[in-house]
Amino acid sequence: MFTPIERILDGEIAEGKAVKIRGWIYRTRQQGKLNFVVVRDASGVIQCAVKKGVVSDDHFEGATKALIESAVIVEGTVKKDARAHGGYELVASAFDVLHFSEIFPISKDQSTEFLLDVRHLWLRSRELTAVMRIKANVLAAIRDFCKQEGYFETTPPILTTSAAEGGSTLFELDYFGKKAFLSQSAQLHLEALIFSLEKVYAITPSFRAEKSRTNKHLTEYWHFEGEAAHVDNEGIMQFEERLLEYVCHRIAKENTKELAELGRDAKELAAVTAPFERVPYAEAIKRLQKKGVKIKDGDDFGADEEKLLTDDKTQPIFITHFPASMKPFYMKENPDGTANNHDLLAPKGFGELIGGSERETDLKTIEAKLEKAGEKLENYAWYLDLRRYGSVQHSGYGLGVERLVRWVCGLEHIRDATPFPRVINRAYP
């Protein structure tokens, strides 16, 4: 039986008690007949004191020889030590090296490009470990909340023949001699599923051939999307804000250590509270103009505008009712030309987390919009069927999981919210 290091650091093991841990050498320091070997496992890091004469000669020699990242098993007794990182030390009685590591290529002060080249190894860093632990919990929290709200998790396809978000960011592929795409969004297929399950969601990879290099765009990202029958734009926004509150509170409560390790203030997440401010697009334009931005009705927000709108906020905000002409064919249009839609922006310039809307239900209107967008109706024949057989009011949204994790963790770049980032110049490792 192996004890997770976290349990020792949490003070769950009585001082003097013998335990066995298993992990990798994080750091090592020699002081004559005493080796201080810091060992990490998935849960934490702890210093082990390996003393000649206390462990066997073989084991002492192993501890002396073993380089960083060697895989080890350590048996020893727990000792409180204010000087040790984490407040506890393990006094080793046995030190087994399972694998002697070669010289690890990562040391201090290496370039970002190099660290991305050895991402498969850099994932062992404390920072990325903390992020991945938080990401796992974000995904768990999303699933728990959806279940609690009566949503069914579904599994829409990734290989598709219809585009949801326009042609410019589609990855095209040859599907046995026919043209197909990697999915940009599961939305259209989720819409089909509401007619049987009413409330559905999916967490799938989405692909965008983004040519821009920014700190918020990946070419492959995880997309959490939901769709619900008999719900309007306001109703789906209420679901989203409650979900976000739930996720933020859970992370603040359950990932306190990881947040601290990342230098992120857990109190800020604990304070996220629905409802969020709703700002109509027209009002957002006015706010920006007041701040001296040269922007006019019909312009989209770039990173600078998103930052100006949210710099002084502590809570996310919704921007609602964009001009329908700026938005995809499926959004419900109001008589005044606005769309019944919303974007959710994270505070402090972290940018768009969610895009969502009420969906157009009328067959003729959708056909006209598709034609105006230069799309062939035959490519959407199946989708148009959904407006032929029992069409009902419905709404949905898509949330970029890495965008959310980036904000929750307070990361500079979105690539650190995913283990193996795909961006315009990188699909390795």
Binding site for Mg ion (CB under 5 A): 355
Residue 406 Cβ vs ligand 4AD, minimum distance, rounded to whole Å: 9
Rounded Cα distance between 165 and 357, Å, is 13
Q: Which of 69, 225, 333, 416 binds ligand 4AD (CB under 6 A)?
A: 225
Give DSSP secondary structure letters for 21-78: EEEEEEEEEEETTEEEEEEE-SS-EEEEEEEBTTB-HHHHHHHHHPPTT-EEEEEEEE
Question: 170 touches which of Mg ion, ligand 4AD, none (CB within 5 to 8 A by kind)?
Answer: none
Residue 396 Cβ vs ligand 4AD, minimum distance, rounded to whole Å: 5
Residue 208 binding ligand 4AD, by CB under 6 A: yes
Residue 399 binding ligand 4AD, by CB under 6 A: yes
CA separation, residue 202 to residues 106, 181, 331, 380 (Å):
37, 18, 20, 21
Collapsed DSSP state (helix, strand, coil) of residue 229: strand
**What count of other Cβ atoms lies within 10 Å of the Cβ of residue 284?**
23
Interface stretch with ligand 4AD, choices 65-73, 138-146, 236-244, 395-403 (CB under 6 A): 395-403
* 349 Cβ contact partners less than 8 Å away, ≥ 6 residues apart: 303, 306, 307, 310, 311
CA angle 221, 195, 245 (to 5 degrees): 45
Q: Which of 44, 62, 400, 421 binds ligand 4AD (CB under 6 A)?
A: 400
Quote the tokens at residue 294.
Answer: 């040269």
CA separation, residue 47 to residues 79, 91, 154, 259 (Å):
10, 9, 45, 22
Rounded Cα distance between 225 and 357, Å, is 12
Q: Which of 352, 358, 360, 416 binds ligand 4AD (CB under 6 A)?
A: 352
Residue 356 Cβ vs Mg ion, minimum distance, rounded to whole Å: 9
Interface stretch with ligand 4AD, choices 13-21, 87-95, 145-153, 391-399 (CB under 6 A): 391-399
Residue 396 binding ligand 4AD, by CB under 6 A: yes
Q: Which of 95, 181, 397, 407 binds ligand 4AD (CB under 6 A)?
A: 397
Interface stretch with ligand 4AD, choices 134-142, 148-156, 213-221, 250-258 (CB under 6 A): 213-221
Question: 347 touches which of ligand 4AD, Mg ion, none (CB within 5 to 8 A by kind)?
Answer: none
Residue 223 binding ligand 4AD, by CB under 6 A: yes
Q: Contact residues for ligand 4AD (CB under 6 A)?
A: 164-165, 185, 187, 208, 210, 217-218, 221, 223, 225, 352-356, 396-400, 402-403
